[in-house]
Amino acid sequence: MQAKQKQKGVAAVEFAIVLPILLMIVFGIVDFGIGLYNKAVLTNAAREGARAGIVLRSPKYTAADVNAVVQQYAANYLITFGTTNTPVVDATVGIGGSFGQPLTVKVSWTYSGLWLGRLYSAFANPLVLSSTAVMNNE
């Protein structure tokens, strides 16, 4: 009976030791998942901007119009956790081109995340997610 009395509280101590590691793993998985989601959103934003820029219409969209389409899409779907950094859009190659010319839309955005992106940025360059969409003008 004396051995059981010495074991009281051992589970609580073991739990207190393991809990921070477990929480780091869980939040790391969540943060990584949010980063992958945001990468998919940037890919879709680039695609939406390229699609808007190539559609047969008169007058053709300008680089500012394509930028607005991308910014609107990103503002609606990116998970930013309150950060104010906006995606950088480069839609100068092929904008307003004639039939068959490719239009390239490049989108990049600095990911800060919950804590994984901020931790990475503290030791290295900021974590920049980017995507490029190329479509032929109609």
Nearest CA-CA partner of 100 in 127, 138, 46: 138
Q: Decide: residue 104, CB within 10 A, 0-12 exposed, 13-18 middle, 19+ buried.
A: middle
Q: Which residue segment(s) compose the domain that 81 sits in? A: 2-136
**Per-residue pLDDT band at 22 (split at 50, 70, 90):** very high
Distance from C-alpha of 2 to C-alpha of 133, rounded to nearest angstrom: 71
Distance from C-alpha of 83 to C-alpha of 99, rounded to nearest angstrom: 39
Distance from C-alpha of 86 to C-alpha of 30, rounded to nearest angstrom: 22
Q: Are 88 and 116 in contact (CB under 8 A)?
A: no
Domain count, the chain: 1
Query: Helix (H, G, I), strand (E, B), or coil: what is residue 130?
Result: strand
Residue 78 has pLDDT above 60, yes or no: yes
**Amino acid sitting at position 49:** G
**Per-residue pLDDT band at 8 (split at 50, 70, 90):** confident
Q: Are 103 and 54 in contact (CB under 8 A)?
A: yes
**Per-residue pLDDT band at 3 (split at 50, 70, 90):** low
Q: Are 100 and 15 in contact (CB under 8 A)?
A: no
**Mean pLDDT computed over 65-69:** 94
